[in-house]
Amino acid sequence: MGWKTTIIPNLRKLDLSLLGARDPEREVFLELTEMFTSLVSLRLRCLKLASPTWLALSAHPRVTELILCGMVIKAAEAPLFWALCKRLETLSFDRVTFDNGTIPAGTMFDRLRDLNVTNIENMALSAQLDLALRCQNLKRLSWNDYDSADQSEHPALDTDRIQKGYWHRLEKLSIHHHFQDTQVAPILDGVGDGGLVHLELHDCRLGEQGSNALCRHFATLVSLSLAAAPLLGIYYSLAQDWRLYMSRLSAEEMLRAEDHGFANGSES
């Protein structure tokens, strides 16, 4: 490559897209990890990486953010990949394909604070939920499927294993899925009462259970986005619940709500 003796000490973010017609040799990545000694964030697009490459990346002393777009994770590389993820604080999947989406038993991602799961191929929804449940200290969770337009086929998802308040640090939750009311409610109940600030629910079917779970977070929400919810009547119900909630606030709490522009039930 001709850069073997070069050190770029201040580079913190690196974006690598498809590097020509053939897959990059592992020596390229070995050199890169040696060159960028301060590298923190790595975005990889449309690359096929072998086990030695994941091993080299996992050995990098500083990388805490990994963003994958259009990647393929083969079964042989999966254990090394998940081992790398244990040290990350930010992990993003965008149209990533797994040969085998199973996460090794007992693997937890306690350092992860930001998880984005968008259109993962060959990983069942139950396995995607399992991934989120291995990240108890999340502050931001984004779970999306932008390709599915058929609302008649509702995804199977076992949400009974979500403990109430499990994601006790979660501040931002974004879901774009055709989930049923009985699936949305346990997810919202799984968010701790301490401080959900931003919430997006798109394409979800909200009903009585979901709206009741949502009302638990009115005290902390600063932004709320509901889009393409099939049961439009829920908006009226939420407005009624909001007015009831506001009527029970103390004077001090009312002042804080007015600061956010919600005293009249709508953001100013």
- Residue 96 inside a domain? The answer is yes
pLDDT digits (tens, 9 = 90+) for 56-97: 777 777 899 999 999 889 888 899 899 999 999 999 999 999
- Residue 205 inside a domain? The answer is yes
Range list of H helices, the chain: 26-35, 51-58, 78-85, 125-133, 181-189, 208-215, 233-247, 251-259
- Residue 5 inside a domain? The answer is no
- Residue 61 inside a domain? The answer is yes
261 versus 133: which is more confidently predicted? 133
pLDDT digits (tens, 9 = 90+) for 152-193: 555 678 888 999 999 999 999 999 998 988 999 999 999 998
The answer to whether residue 258 scores a pLDDT higher than 60 is no
**Number of folded domains that form the chain:** 1
CA distance 187 to 190: 5
- Give yes or no for a contact between 12 and 40, defined as CB atoms under 8 angstroms apart: yes
pLDDT band at residue 138 under the 50/70/90 scheme: very high
Write the DSSP symbol of residue 246. Answer: H
- Residue 62 inside a domain? The answer is yes
- Residue 210 inside a domain? The answer is yes
pLDDT value, residue 28: 64
State the residue range of the domain holding 235.
13-259
- Residue 173 inside a domain? The answer is yes
| DSSP bridge pairs for 68 | 44, 93
- Residue 8 inside a domain? The answer is no
The answer to whether residue 260 scores a pLDDT higher than 50 is no
pLDDT value, residue 257: 47
pLDDT band at residue 239 under the 50/70/90 scheme: low
Residues 6+ apart with CB under 8 A from 205: 154, 178, 179, 180, 181, 184, 229, 230, 231
68 versus 1: which is more confidently predicted? 68
Which CATH number belongs to the domain containing residue 62 in this structure? 3.80.10.10
**C-alpha separations of 122 from 47, 114, 202, 203, 254 in Å:** 17, 22, 23, 22, 48
pLDDT value, residue 16: 81
